[in-house]
Structures are given as structure tokens and as C-alpha cells.
């Protein structure tokens, strides 16, 4: 069965879940779909509310970060990376993870030919872009790759992108901030406490995204081996297992040791079991509602 996308007018098969042209969700959510509160870390939620309430940040973020940074990044990707084609193997993986996390829109995705092992997502809520490096695709198995994709899609679902971009630019130094000031968009200096708050929130947002990864792979050892691989390949923005708390204050990501510990804790929580029960219920309903052949009763998945 084909479904008309209300946004762009393209037709896509129902089971694609997301429009093949504009990547927006084409089927309605059910009460059994995953919501942000199923996986968000309490500290992430609390700090995000504070950030959203800051008039300085919301103005700076909307005007400067999205328009300037995202445009520049997309232009770079179009020239230096390969765009993932709809219904390719990797697109199918992304679609599947997006279905499990019930996101509203899939990101436009690029593969960057690079020896660095990295994945990142940026943009606005209604125009997210994800990039994965070729080295990452080479060293990860399918489950680990699903964990990475799930992590990135969780940032989209949680509406983390704009604040991430700002936090990352602050972590890198004043370069980007200076360019805002130069453009006359932001004439105030972002104070150290806000910078600290942004970075502290960023680290908690990573824990939320790791929890969402676990809802996809359902096995904490997958995330543990993934973290170990990332650590071995020295992802630049990340810290090592041995680094201490003091260092953490100036970083966008928590150390791997904490991330693994948090994932294990979530795995043993009631919240996790409830989310998984919801997902199972959702699968049951989806199977029951799938169009079946009137003659033989076989599920029509084609
Ligand atoms: Zn569409
Ligand atoms: Zn992340």
C-alpha cells in the first residue's frame, strides 16, 4: 500500500515508514511508540529546559548557529562526502532504527571517506544531517553500527542538535563565537557559567543517546565493544577510560568508563524494561495490522 506524504506529495510504500523523498514520517505514531521520556537522562532534561529558557542562547542559536554553521557543513559534505541513497543497505539500517525510536524525520546522511572513526549529526529539527566516516563503517559490525545510528537519531528525536552545535563550537574555542560577533548577530560574550552549563548538558545528552542505542540493540555488551573500538581508534572528541573527572568539565563527551556504566545501569532499570515492553507491544500491533493476502492469509511485506 502506498501512502501520500502530506509534506511533499510523494508516494512511498507504507512499510518504508518515512517518505522516500523528504524523509518525513508518513505513518502516525501509536501509544506504544518510544517517546523521549523513555530514555532521557534526568540531568539532560533538566539542563535542556534551562538552556531553552535562556533568551540569549535561543536567539544566538536560531540566528547564527543553524544558518551559518549548518550551511557551511552541508556545502562541505556535498563536495567531500557521498550521499546515502534511499533504500541502500545503510539507508535501510537507518530507516529501521528511526522506526524503533519513532523519530519524526530521518536525517540526510553522508559517508565521509576518512581514516578517522567518527559519526555526528547537526542541523535543525526539521532539517537534520548525519555523517558517518568510511572507517567507522569498516570497523563496526552491523549491531555496533545500529548502536551508533541509534545514538545519533536519539539526538534528533530529543531536539539536541542546535544546542550541541553551540556547545561544540564553544568547546573548540572562541573561533566560531568570534564569527558571530563579527557578523553583528551576537554582540554579547557567552559567559563562562553558560559555557559550563552547555558542556555539562552536552555530556548528559550523550548518556540519553546511549540509552536510546540500548533500546535498539538490547544488549549492553554491544555498546561496550563499540565504545572500546571507538577508544582504540582514538576518536578525537572523546576521552579515554582513564581520564579523570577534572578533565571532563571541558569536554563535550563523558568518558567511556562512565558511558558504559550508565548503559549497564539503564539496562537493569525498570524504565528500560517498560520501554522494551512497549516496543514489543508495538511490534505485535504492527504485525497484526500488516496487510495480509485475502486468499492465503500470508503477510504482505513486499
Ligand atoms: Zn515527503
Ligand atoms: Zn552523541
Q: What is the mean pLDDT of residues 193-218?
A: 89
Task: Mean pLDDT check: name the lowest of 85-99, 127-141, 208-222, 244-258.
Answer: 244-258
206 CA distance to ligand 2 middle (Å): 5
Give every strand in the sheet of 108-112, ordered side by side: 82-83, 108-112, 127-133, 119-124
126 CA distance to ligand 1 middle (Å): 12
Question: Cα–Cα distance between 302 and 283 in angstroms, integer?
Answer: 18
4 CA distance to ligand 1 middle (Å): 8
63 CA distance to ligand 2 middle (Å): 23
Of all ligands present, the nearest one to the C-alpha of 22 is: 1
Question: Cα–Cα distance between 208 and 88 in angstroms, integer?
Answer: 28
132 CA distance to ligand 2 middle (Å): 12
The Cα angle at residue 210 between residues 246 and 286, in degrees rounded to 5: 165
Of all ligands present, the nearest one to the C-alpha of 18 is: 1
Of all ligands present, the nearest one to the C-alpha of 252 is: 2
Mean pLDDT of the chain: 83
Q: What is the pLDDT of residues 15-72, one digit of tens each?
A: 899 999 999 999 999 999 999 999 999 989 988 888 888 766 666 666 666 677 788 8
Higher pLDDT, 117 or 273: 273
Q: What is the mean pLDDT of residues 123-147?
A: 94
Question: Cα–Cα distance between 222 and 90 in angstroms, integer?
Answer: 19
Task: Mean pLDDT check: name the lowest of 17-31, 73-87, 117-131, 194-208.
Answer: 194-208
Of all ligands present, the nearest one to the C-alpha of 16 is: 1
> Is this model's pTM higher than 0.75 or not?
yes
* pLDDT higher than 80, residue 290: no
Residues, the chain: 302
What pLDDT sits at residue 170? 64
Of all ligands present, the nearest one to the C-alpha of 163 is: 2
* pLDDT higher than 90, residue 209: yes
Ion ligand 2: residues, CB < 5 A? 206, 209
Reported as a pLDDT band with limits 50, 70 and 90, residue 238 is: very low
What pLDDT sits at residue 186? 44
Amino acid at each position: 500500500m502506498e501512502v501520500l506524504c502530506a509534506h511533499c506529495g510523494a508516494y512511498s510504500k507504507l512499510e518504508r515508514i518515512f517518505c522516500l523523498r523528504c524523509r518525513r514520517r508518513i505513518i502516525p505514531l501509536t501509544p506504544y511508540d518510544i517517546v523521549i521520556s523513555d530514555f532521557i537522562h534526568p540531568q539532560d532534561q533538566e539542563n535542556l529546559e534551562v538552556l531553552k529558557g535562556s533568551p540569549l542562547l535561543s536567539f544566538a542559536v536560531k540566528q547564527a548557529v543553524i544558518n551559518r554553521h549548518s550551511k557551511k557543513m552541508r556545502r562541505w559534505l556535498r563536495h567531500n562526502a557521498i550521499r546515502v541513497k534511499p533504500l541502500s543497505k545503510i539507508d535501510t539500517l537507518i530507516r529501521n532504527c528511526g522506526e524503533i525510536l519513532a523519530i519524526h524525520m530521518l536525517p540526510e546522511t553522508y559517508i565521509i571517506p576518512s581514516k578517522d572513526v567518527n559519526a555526528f549529526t547537526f542541523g535543525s529539527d526539521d532539517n537534520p544531517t548525519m555523517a558517518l566516516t568510511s572507517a567507522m563503517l569498516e570497523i563496526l559490525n552491523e549491531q555496533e553500527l545500529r548502536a551508533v545510528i541509534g545514538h545519533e537519531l536519539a539526538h534528533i528525536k530529543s531536539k539536541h542538535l542546535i544546542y550541541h552545535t553551540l556547545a561544540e563550537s564553544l568547546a573548540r574555542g572562541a573561533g566560531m563565537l568570534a564569527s558571530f560577533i563579527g557578523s553583528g548577530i551576537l554582540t554579547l560574550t557567552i559567559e563562562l557559567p553558560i559555557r559550563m552549563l552547555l558542556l555539562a548538558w552536552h555530556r548528559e545528552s550523550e548518556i540519553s543517546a546511549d540509552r536510546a542505542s540500548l533500546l535498539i540493540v538490547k544488549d549492553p555488551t554491544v555498546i561496550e565493544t563499540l565504545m572500546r573500538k571507538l577508544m582504540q581508534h582514538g576518536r578525537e572528541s572523546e576521552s579515554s577510560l582513564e581520564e579523570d573527572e577534572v578533565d571532563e568539565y571541558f569536554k563535550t563527551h563523558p568518558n567511556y568508563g562512565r558511558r558504559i556504566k550508565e548503559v549497564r545501569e539503564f539496562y537493569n532499570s525498570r524504565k528500560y524494561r517498560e520501554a522494551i515492553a512497549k516496543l514489543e507491544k508495538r511490534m505485535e500491533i504492527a504485525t497484526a495490522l500488516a496487510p495480509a493476502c485475502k486468499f492465503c492469509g500470508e503477510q504482505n511485506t513486499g
